Chains A and B, each alone.
Chain A
Amino acid sequence: MSTLAHVFEAEGLATIALGSMRNQIEHTAPPRGLFCDFPLGRPLGVPGDSEFQHGVLAAAFALLGAPEPVFAQYPISIEDDASEIVACTLPPRHDPDAHPAVDEARGLRNAYDRGVELTGNRGGTGRVVDADGIPSAIEAFIRVAEGTPWKEAGIPGIPARVSQDIRGYYETAALAMVDHAPSAWAGTRWFLDETETGKAILAARDAMRDSGEKHGLWFYLTPGDR
């Protein structure tokens, strides 16, 4: 992103670059850079808090007054202590013949639809798999976890993208079941650690890694530190 700042500035535009990775924004050194020590994915800091967001923007626009390239750090940091998980009730078993992950995903459909009504579909389910296709996409990952080579498992697209759509489905459903903006990563931790589908995706990732698939194929199924 800081690269674009350099390029745009050369085209006659004044830029302010926000950055959440200090080493990256310092090294690329955009003409006006504001390091905001916020979780990745939240460059304005706090969702649903317009006052906080205006504070960040005020600090950003203040850099326009500098007579030369400038780097600053926003004085407030937001730390993810890796503890919060959204408190979302998972649906009870409905179809005993279905895999628990598939049954779970079907049971969350109403919550997902409410989440879309509340917030839109910004999480991106539907890039390659729409909501109707999520259960069968999960079944494909279950087959991978059970030993089927991924190319034969019926994953309906590039595995990482399909996994993103499944994660987006769950995180959108979670938004319908909470009454506040979740802390950063609280929805993802819930998906990976609390749900049957999250466990299935992790198991598929392990199976692909252990069978020697290319790093890029399995690594991006989940956040990289898992």
Chain B
Amino acid sequence: MSDKDLKAMTADIETPSFETTAFTTPPPLAEATVAIVTTSSLHHPDQDDFAPADTGYRVLDGSRRDYVTGHWSPNFDAVGFAYDMNTVFPLDRLDELAEQGVIGKVADQHLAYAGNQFELSAIRMDSGPAGGRWLKEQGVDVVLLTPV
């Protein structure tokens, strides 16, 4: 078993393409509010676990550290995240960058989706735009997207 074999096995999975690419120019990073959005199905223990083909999102409280992965795929190394959450969800690193003034502010809340999706229309048309609008309402300027 190896990472190379798993990547080869999943290389042919169809991925969406976009005819046009939306592009937003951010404010200077030192003035920007940055959030993490991860597709690793993270949630807090007191939130609902992700169901198979769950197209919704969970709001992650940046003041907590009790994140659990609810990803359904067995095809990723889970020990890296178990050892150090920053391997997937680099919140401590963002806090350090904010303290250094590299980024303006770390958002108070972040989002998690489930990345193991084969039918993406609901995310493209519904929960994705809803999550984006919610982040905008929180004053977020820049989103760092992390997978597993």
Contact = CB atoms under 8 A, between A and B. Distances in A.
A72 interface: no
B39 A4 contact: yes
A151 to B, nearest CB: 18
A27 B142 CA distance: 22
Nearest to A4: B128
A31 B23 contact: yes
Given A8-B132, A185-B77, A188-B79, A69 B5 contact: no
Given A14-B24, A122-B85, A7 B123 contact: yes
A6 interface: yes
Contact of A123 (B2, B7, B78, B102): B78
Contacts of B17: 27-29
A13 B87 CA distance: 23
A8 B82 CA distance: 28
Given A5-B145, A80-B2, A164 B79 contact: no
Given A10-B22, A122-B85, A223-B1, A16 B70 contact: no
A13 B132 contact: yes
A226 B128 CA distance: 33
A76 interface: no
A4 B2 CA distance: 28
A184 B49 CA distance: 25
Interface residues of A, number: 87
Contacts of B132: 7-8, 10-13
Q: Which of A1, A4, A64, A225 has the most CB of B within 10 A?
A: A4
10 contacts: A3-B123, A5-B145, A6-B18, A27-B17, A41-B80, A43-B87, A50-B93, A54-B93, A82-B5, A121-B45
Given A23-B11, A161-B72, A225-B2, 10 more contacts: A3-B123, A9-B24, A12-B24, A13-B132, A31-B24, A40-B3, A50-B93, A79-B4, A188-B78, A221-B74
Interface of B: 1-7, 9-11, 13, 15-18, 21-26, 29, 32, 37, 39, 45, 49, 52, 65-70, 72-88, 90, 92-94, 96-97, 102-103, 113, 115, 120, 123-124, 128-129, 131-133, 135-136, 140-148
